Amino acid sequence: MSAELSLTGAENYFEDFEVGAVIEHYRGKTITNLENVLITNMVMNTAQGHFNEDRMSRSPWGKILSYGGVNFSMVLGLASQDCCENAIQELGLNNIRLTKSVHHGDTIYAYSEVLEKSDSDREDAGVVTFRHYGVNQNREMVAQIDRKVLLKRRPAARRLSSHAPRAR
């Protein structure tokens, strides 16, 4: 197992998350055909508002709407390295709200808030519930999702390590 330890961050174990803490995730991502159309079609979502430009040009939106499942999966993805890199399992989602439409060319950024922490039936892991927020380039919220994750506790081999503190 020790070789695997070096593959993930050392500052995002169960112990590192404090209830109430809010994280701004470093990377944003622009939604294009590649994210929306590819994933919508790949998951066999047949709603053509997500992939028929001609039809949508005659709709009140005037252009393709990115599929909400893509939008919130992108928010969860953008938050994954910081919040779930050391996950054992993603247990579930709740309170998923899609608050604003997203079109190709919009850029999504993610923020996360630590809502709850609890012990689990495993000694080496605990449960953390995050509330993830997705925001567009105009700082408007596009999605909100609660995610419950079974997260590793810091392994003994990493307790005394002298890793350089992360610049914040």
Partner 1 sequence: MIEDIIGKAKLWKKGIPYEGFSAGQKFNHHWGRTITESDNLLFSTLTLSFVPLYFNRAYARAHGHPDIVINPQLIFNVTLGLSVEDCSEGLGGPFLGVYDLVYHRHAYPGVTLTASSTTIETRHSASNPANGIVTWVTEGHDQDGNLLISFRRSNLGHRREGSAL
| Least distance to partner 1, CB of residue 47, Å | 5
Interface of this chain with partner 1, residues 21 to 40, rule: CB under 8 A: 27, 29, 34-35, 38-40
Question: Which range in 14-22, 87-95, 133-141, 155-163 contacts partner 1 by CB under 8 A?
Answer: 87-95
Q: Write the interaction track for partner 1 spanning residues 100-129; mark x where CB under 8 A is met and - where it is not.
A: -x----------------------------
Are 45 and 67 spatial neighbours (Cβ–Cβ below 8 Å)?
yes
Question: Which range in 13-21, 62-70, 126-134, 156-164 contacts partner 1 by CB under 8 A?
Answer: 62-70
Nearest to 102 by CA among 77, 132, 137: 137
> Which residue, 20 or 100, has its beta carbon nearer to partner 1?
100
C-alpha 160, offset from chain centre:
30
CA distance 75 to 10: 22
DSSP label at residue 32: -
CA distance 19 to 25: 17
